Amino acid sequence: MGVGGDMEPDEIRWEKTRRAFFPRPAAPSAAETEAFVSRVMARLPEAEPEEARPFWAVHRWFVPALGFSCAAFAFSFLALGGESEDPAMALLLADAGGSPVVELVARPDAGTPEDVLGLDLEVR
């Protein structure tokens, strides 16, 4: 359209052509609207009530969450893994019957003989 509502001759011809080929449809009546809605609703599948479906089918993330939690629980035991023990220390502890001296010597935090005996030598 031109400025101020003025239309050029080409625009006027286009408007006439557009109205001839693409007429504006009439607004549907209330009966036509109701008929359309009833046809669409008839084509929709009937929804079954939630009581008829099992719990896991209603909540779609229940089964994957349950599987993930079981896998995480199983993998948590891999992190615990038994500590590898020196076979000689295992025999020494088994033979001593829980002697306090053997337990002191076999402590994992006792790194050197000086630490076990309490002789911390100063380095100068």
Query: DSSP letters of the chain?
Result: --GGG---HHHHHHHHHHHHHSPPPPPPPHHHHHHHHHHHHHHSPPPPPGGGS-HHHHSTTHHHHHHHHHHHHHHHHHHH-PPP--HHHHHHHHHHTS-HHHHHHT-TT--SHHHHHT--PPP-
pLDDT of 33 above 90:
yes
- Answer yes or no: are the C-beta atoms of 7 and 15 closer than 8 Å: yes
- Chain segment 46-99, per-residue pLDDT in tens: 776 666 677 666 677 888 888 999 999 988 877 665 566 666 666 666 665 556
pLDDT for 4 = 47
Report yes or no on whether pTM surpasses 0.75.
Answer: no
pLDDT for 17 = 92
Interior CA angle at 61 toward 51 and 41, to 5°? Answer: 50
- Answer yes or no: are the C-beta atoms of 112 and 123 closer than 8 Å: no
Minimum mean pLDDT among 5-19, 40-54, 102-116: which range?
102-116
Using CA atoms, how far apart are residues 89 and 110, in angstroms rounded to an integer?
A: 13
pLDDT for 63 = 84
Domain boundaries, the chain: 85-117
Task: Estimate to the nearest angstrom the gap between the alpha carbon of 88 and the chain centroid.
Answer: 48
